[in-house]
Amino acid sequence: MSTIHLHQRTTLTLEQYARGLTDFGPGRSKLFGNSADEYLKVHRRSHTGADVTEGSGGIWERLHYDWSDLNRVVLTTTDSNVWGGASSHTYTFTRQPNGTTDIDVVVIREGKNLRDECSVSYSERSGGACWRGPSKTRSRLSKRGTPRGNIRRVRLSYAAGMRVAR
């Protein structure tokens, strides 16, 4: 199991980012490149959560989204062809006095088999990742405690908006 920490400051408000993160309409792939429209299926949606299958490139996962606290949106993997066990994404939003928002993301990945687990471990050791968010821009992120670098493995491409650097 691997844990990846990402941090980004944005001019978007936490409400704007959370709205983009939880918008499951057509064209989601324009904001989150790893959520192709042909994989997207909303099974259930309420005012505080959703059960959604999304993915791309042969990798899919079913996620339970919980946004009952807009300062913290949690995505828990409930089924996937690659990810299992305790896999999740936690987005924590912190408003800054200057009007910007800090976004901290913790991604926990547990592969379903040895091959998937090895590629998660390899990707975690390999460096940084790119993130495409609702602003439609790509920003370079660094993982705390690890050097920046390019990841050539696509195993980390997943549906919650994180992009692997190529």
Q: Which residue has the higher pLDDT, 53 or 117?
A: 53
- In this structure, the number of other CB atoms found within 10 A of the CB of residue 145 comes to 6
Sheet architecture: strand order including 2-10: 2-10, 101-109, 88-95, 72-80, 59-69, 49-56, 41-45
Q: What percent of the chain has pLDDT over 70?
A: 67
What's the whole-model pTM score? 0.71
- Cβ neighbours around 40 below 10 Å, total: 21
- Residues 2 and 126 sit within 8 Å (Cβ to Cβ): no
* Confidence class for position 100, pLDDT limits 50, 70, 90: very high
When pLDDT is averaged across residues 24-32 and rounded to a whole number, the result is 90
pLDDT score for 1:
84
Q: Is the pLDDT of residue 103 over 70?
A: yes
pLDDT at 114: 53
What is the Cα gyration radius of the chain?
15
Mean pLDDT value of segment 106-121:
68
Task: Please name the helix (run of DSSP H) or strand (run of DSSP E) that holds residue 21, with its range, or none.
Answer: helix 14-21
Tell me the fold of 2-163.
Answer: Alpha-D-Glucose-1,6-Bisphosphate; Chain A, domain 4 (3.30.530)
For 125-157, what is each residue's pLDDT tens digit? 443 343 444 333 333 333 333 233 322 222 233
Pick the residue with more confidence: 19 or 139? Answer: 19
Mean pLDDT across 14-34: 91
Report CA 114 to chain centroid distance, whole Å: 22
Q: Where are the domains of the chain?
A: 2-163
Q: Which band of pLDDT confidence, cut at 50, 70 and 90, is reported for residue 8?
A: very high
Q: What is the mean pLDDT of the chain?
A: 75
Determine the pLDDT at residue 148.
30
